[in-house]
Amino acid sequence: MNKLQQLFQKKPNNLLSIFFTAGYPQLEDTIPLIQYLCKSSVDFIEIGFPFSDPLADGPTIQATNYQAIQNGMTLSLLFKQLSSLPPISTPLILMGYLNPILQMGIPQFLHNCSQNQIDAIIIPDLPFDYYEKYFQKTMSEYNICSVFLVTPSTPPDRLNQIKQFTTGFVYVVSDNSITGKNIDFQKQKKYLENLQQCLEGVPKIIGFGIKDPLSFQTACQFANGAIIGSAFLNHLKNHKISLELVQNFIQSIRL
Amino acid sequence: MIRPDKHGYYGEFGGAFIPEMLFQNVYELQQQYEKIIFSDDFQRTYQSYLKDYVGRPTPLYEAQNLSQHYGVKVWLKREDLCHTGAHKINNAIGQVLLAKYMGKQRIIAETGAGQHGVATATACALLNMPCQIFMGEKDIERQKLNVLRMKMLGAIVTPASSGSKTLKDATNEAIRAWIQDPQHTYYVIGSVVGPHPYPDMVALFQSIISQEIKTQLQEKGYQYPNYVIACVGGGSNAIGAFYHFIHNPITQLIAVEAAGEGIHTHKTAATITLGKKGILHGSLSYLIQSDDGQIFEPHSISAGLDYPGIGPIHSFLYEQKRIQVLSATDQEALEAALELTRLEGIIPALESAHALAALKKIPFQQNHSIVINLSGRGDKDMNTYQNVFSYE
């Protein structure tokens, strides 16, 4: 079992995860941000590596991707930065689109993940056949977990497939939406309740549109926890990052 | 003829690399498109629109002055004479009709030069569908006339202000809009790009071009052309012109990319010449990108070729050595446009001018017959032509 799987065993409820884009606001902010998030008792951390054309993302994450690329962030630089991170107990997840991974080479990418404390990866545009062919075996050897997304329009037979492939958690997209939009839990109640049944026994984390104590708490009623991305990145915008800045945000969510 | 395997691959190219939010939309289309578009009912309606509304078959014109100038026989496939001024309408009517059959209630599309946007807005006016077109801010500026046309046709034109503010970003925005309304919205992609089944579907709708070329040449006593030449951005007019010649090895297929200011500069859109394999907008193909996999902002004087990728079918045909890829610079395209205008009295679109520029680059023999796909007319480019040639 890796750190992420242990976490789900140890603490099945109210998990708070924070997503940020590597290289944003400043190129060298990656490592300090991870350390501040650890100190702020975030349960696990999602690091996004930037891509020029992030299809599933709204304006906030588009802007952080753009800025990170302008700052000079690349996937190889991110691994170089991560190699200087002292061992941490908080699980780390890497998230990004497939093209930068293809350019690095899938075996090299997975090897780099295994060397740099990565417990799981999320690739939103990774088809199942590619996962089975190029990722599944090596990830299992390296003890890296897989995470797949589901949405309100994911068909039932596909949910079953996702359940089979998942070794980490299912990323529950709160709505048919891009990142950073508001979520209407009332509208999604049926969908979320259905998932509790269909994906019983699989950890579920809700993302997209979680931004304040209310949305976080509501999400936790339907899943093991929630991921906050855009709201956190908006909080960092135009600031020099500091432990205080990060702690303020986490406290404002957890109340 | 060329069709993908059941997962949408042409060799290793193509596929459907899409986030989960798009899965249901794309899956629904994959399940339905062949059933609908090959049905007698659909074909009857579609063919009747092509004939009486678009004005097909478009002429295959023997350009005698141009032929004399180059010492070979040059035929022009006059897609510029299609209703709305380019080949894009062949696909737009097909897809909007398909959307109707699927019970969709709203159409969205991306556009670069505005030709696909105008074609889609036209099909939507004709078939009574609400229409929203995404267009890069930069393209809105340089293709004003087409923006006015789309608006007059009743479409909402939404500027894409992210990234390079051109076709690539308009496509991103259209996909994001689709994610947010999967049930009612149909996304009309304008080229042979995007996730499976789009490349196959668009190629099928455009294949009418080569079907006509074949028949028209035979009527004129020619069995086959030695060359078929077309410009490529995403590659829809090129695949249309190549489609029925792919399995005839005697016909050489030439795809002309936009070199922009030159393939050795950073201001270029020569995707195959400079590209590496990668994934953009849902399919695997050649892309111009950094070592880190970031997609470069392309450049071409022609907004319709200003795209950093190319359809997966073309990447596949290139790797199979079935198509030859050339490139033409902005300057070469402008010269070719002026040459055709003065020799034949036809003002071509800047995109099509890239195909014409290939006449100077190929060592033809005297008895060769060449078909150039004149994919669009130059009305929309008059601003650019005026600025460059400075007429008073």
CATH number at residue B374: 3.40.50.1100
| Contact residues for A140 (Cβ-Cβ < 8 A; gap 6+) | A167
> Do B154 and B13 fall within a single domain?
yes
Smallest Cβ–Cβ distance between A154 and the set B20, B276, B291 belongs to B20
DSSP B4-51: --TTSEETTEE-----GGGHHHHHHHHHHHHHHHTSHHHHHHHHHHII
**How many residue contacts between A and B have a Cβ separation below 8 Å?**
111
pLDDT of A175 strictly over 70 = yes
User: pLDDT digits over A74-109, tens only?
Assistant: 999 999 999 999 999 999 999 999 999 999 999 999
Q: Which residues of B touch A102 (CB under 8 A)?
A: 277-279, 293
Q: Please report the sign of the dihedral spanned by the C-alpha atoms of residue B361, residue B362, residue B366, residue B372.
A: negative
User: pLDDT digits over B177-188, tens only?
Assistant: 999 998 899 999
Distance CA B136, CA B158 (A): 8
**Structural element, H or E, at residue B371:** strand B369-374
Examine the residue annotation and report whether A28 is marked as an active-site residue of this protein. no
Q: What residues pair up with B324 in beta bridges, in sequence order?
A: B254
Please check whether residue B4 lies inside any domain of the structure.
no
Smallest Cβ–Cβ distance between B295 and the set A53, A59, A151 belongs to A53
Contact call for residues B225 and B36 (beta carbons, < 8 A): no
Taking CB atoms within 8 Å and a gap of at least 24, the contacts of A215-221 are A215/A183, A215/A185, A216/A16, A216/A253, A216/A254, A218/A185, A219/A174, A219/A185, A220/A13, A220/A14, A220/A15
| Contact residues for A6 (Cβ-Cβ < 8 A; gap 6+) | none
Mean pLDDT over B82-91 rounds to 97
Of all residues in chain B, the one with the smallest CA distance to A55 is: B172
User: pLDDT digits over B240-270, tens only?
Assistant: 999 999 999 999 999 999 999 999 998 999 9
Among B169, B202, B235, residue at a domain's last position:
B202
What is the SS3 assignment for B328? strand
> Do B309 and B375 fall within a single domain?
yes
> Do B282 and B303 fall within a single domain?
yes
Distance to chain B for A214, nearest Cα, Å: 23
Beta strands B283-287; B276-280: pairing state:
antiparallel
Smallest Cα–Cα separation from B239: which of B198, B268, B278?
B198
Of all residues in chain A, the one with the smallest CA distance to B291 is: A103
Of all residues in chain A, the one with the smallest CA distance to B16 is: A127
Supply B19's token pair: 């986030």
> Do B297 and B336 fall within a single domain?
yes
Cis peptide before A59 (omega within 30 of 0): no
Q: Which residues of B touch A75 (CB under 8 A)?
A: 292-293
> Do B162 and B221 fall within a single domain?
no
pTM recorded for the entire structure: 0.95
Q: Which residues of B touch A59 (CB under 8 A)?
A: 162
User: pLDDT digits over B317-361, tens only?
Assistant: 999 999 999 999 999 999 999 999 999 999 999 999 999 999 999
> Do B186 and B111 fall within a single domain?
yes
B70-94 per-residue burial string, b: 16 or more CB within 10 A, e: under 16: bebbbbbbbbbbbbbbbbbbbbbbb
Please check whether residue B97 lies inside any domain of the structure.
yes
Q: Do A125 and B289 touch (CB under 8 A)?
A: no
- Give the model's pLDDT for residue B391: 62
Percentage, residues of chain B above pLDDT 70: 99
Q: Do A97 and B24 touch (CB under 8 A)?
A: no
> Do B240 and B359 fall within a single domain?
yes
B116-142 per-residue burial string, b: 16 or more CB within 10 A, e: under 16: bbbbbbbbbebbebebbbbbbebbbeb
Q: What residues pair up with B258 in beta bridges, in sequence order?
A: B328
Distance CA B115, CA B85 (A): 8
Contact call for residues A198 and A223 (beta carbons, < 8 A): no
> Do B162 and B174 fall within a single domain?
yes
Contact call for residues B92 and B121 (beta carbons, < 8 A): no
Please check whether residue B324 lies inside any domain of the structure.
yes
For residue B237, which phi and psi values (nearest 5 degrees)?
Answer: -70, -35
> Do B263 and B337 fall within a single domain?
yes
For residue B343, which phi and psi values (nearest 5 degrees)?
Answer: -85, -35
Smallest Cβ–Cβ distance between B295 and the set A52, A56, A149 belongs to A52
Q: How many CB atoms lie within 10 A of CB A163?
A: 16
Beta strand ranges found along B122-183 (DSSP E): 131-136, 156-160
Contact call for residues A102 and A121 (beta carbons, < 8 A): no
| Amino acid at position A61, single letter | I
Among B147, B170, B202, residue at a domain's last position:
B202
- Residue found under tokens 């340089």: B142
For residue A255, name the pLDDT band (cuts at 50, 70, 90). confident
What is the value of ipTM here, to two decimals? Answer: 0.94
Please check whether residue B2 lies inside any domain of the structure.
no
- Give the model's pLDDT for residue B288: 95
B392 to chain A, any CB pair closer than 8 A? The answer is no
Give B53's DSSP letter: I
Distance to chain A for B33, nearest Cα, Å: 19
For residue B304, name the pLDDT band (cuts at 50, 70, 90). confident
Smallest Cα–Cα separation from A26: which of A86, A84, A72?
A72
| Catalytic annotation, pick one of A53, A57, A119, A132 | A57
Q: Do B293 and A58 touch (CB under 8 A)?
A: no
Distance to chain B for A234, nearest Cα, Å: 18
- Inter-CA distances, B122 with B33, B83, B146, B154, B237, Å: 22, 9, 12, 9, 19
For residue B49, which phi and psi values (nearest 5 degrees)?
Answer: -65, -40
- Give the model's pLDDT for residue B112: 87
Of all residues in chain A, the one with the smallest CA distance to B172 is: A55
Of all residues in chain B, the one with the smallest CA distance to A177 is: B180
Among B170, B185, B202, residue at a domain's last position:
B202
Please check whether residue B127 lies inside any domain of the structure.
yes
B281 to chain A, any CB pair closer than 8 A? The answer is yes
Q: Which residues of B touch A101 (CB under 8 A)?
A: 293
Distance to chain B for A40, nearest Cα, Å: 31
Q: Do A99 and B282 touch (CB under 8 A)?
A: no
Range of the domain at B184: 9-49+88-202
Please check whether residue B3 lies inside any domain of the structure.
no
| Amino acid at position A50, single letter | P
| Contact residues for B148 (Cβ-Cβ < 8 A; gap 6+) | none
Chain A contacts to B (CB-CB under 8 A): 50-53, 55-56, 58-59, 62, 66, 69, 74-76, 97-104, 124-127, 129-130, 148-151, 153-155, 158, 173, 176-178, 181
Q: Do B278 and A52 touch (CB under 8 A)?
A: no
pLDDT of A191 strictly over 90 = yes
Distance to chain B for A64, nearest Cα, Å: 12
Q: Please report the sign of the dihedral spanned by the C-alpha atoms of residue A240, residue A246, residue A251, residue A252.
A: positive
> Do B63 and B40 fall within a single domain?
no
Distance to chain A for B346, nearest Cα, Å: 38
pLDDT of B163 strictly over 80 = no
What is the CATH topology of the domain spanning A14-145+207-254? TIM Barrel (3.20.20)
Count structural domains, chain B: 2
Mean pLDDT (chain B) is 95
> Do B140 and B266 fall within a single domain?
no
Please check whether residue B266 lies inside any domain of the structure.
yes
For residue B143, name the pLDDT band (cuts at 50, 70, 90). confident
| Contact residues for B59 (Cβ-Cβ < 8 A; gap 6+) | B78, B81, B216
pLDDT of B164 strictly over 80 = no
Distance CA A163, CA B370 (A): 56
Q: Which residues of A touch B182 (CB under 8 A)?
A: 153, 176
In this predicted model, which residue has the larger pLDDT, A180 or A136? A136
> Do B266 and B309 fall within a single domain?
yes
Q: Please report the sign of the dihedral spanned by the C-alpha atoms of residue B82, residue B83, residue B86, residue B90.
A: negative
- Inter-CA distances, B83 with A9, A44, B144, B347, Å: 64, 57, 19, 16
